[in-house]
Amino acid sequence: MPMWDFDRNRWVWLTLLAALVTGVVLSLLPISSTASCQAFAGGTETCTTGRESLLQSQGLAALAVLAVPVFVAAVGIVFPRRGAVVTSAVLLTVLTLLGAASIGVFYLPTTVVAWIAVAASASRPRASSGHYL
């Protein structure tokens, strides 16, 4: 398997970086709202509100979900073929659409970069081994 040249394949690497950064930001930024109220005997009520990150509200299971787009984005790096880059872009598109009601919309920039990587890979000449560099 040939080694990837970052300069010629930067869009594939940028797709992975975008997925990774999005996952880290989503895991640490407080994007979930919390509210709790407590009633006391005298008829008074105390309410508190707050914000939590996905990691705080969902625990380590959130990291497993956030890791999926990172692994999908890595397909184009692990398998240096145009078909792998296309497959990665298609899977990222499906994941973004399926998760659009929750965190999928945050992966829209990653998906756009993945399709730019597909377009960039189409303009690269293929080596005789079927791999492109």
Give pLDDT tens digits for 50-78. 778 888 888 888 899 999 999 999 998 89
Give pLDDT tens digits for 5-38. 555 588 999 999 999 999 999 998 887 777 888 8
The pLDDT value given to residue 8: 59
pLDDT band at 132 (very low <50, low <70, confident <90, very high): very low
pLDDT band at 110 (very low <50, low <70, confident <90, very high): very high
Give, rounded to a whole angstrom, the gap between the first and last alpha carbons of the chain: 11
Residue with tokens 């659409």, as numbered in its chain: 97
The pLDDT value given to residue 64: 92
> What is the rounded CA–CA span in Å between residue 113 and residue 39?
51
pLDDT band at 121 (very low <50, low <70, confident <90, very high): confident
The pLDDT value given to residue 128: 45
Single-letter residue type at 43: G
The pTM of the full predicted model, rounded to 2 decimals, is 0.76
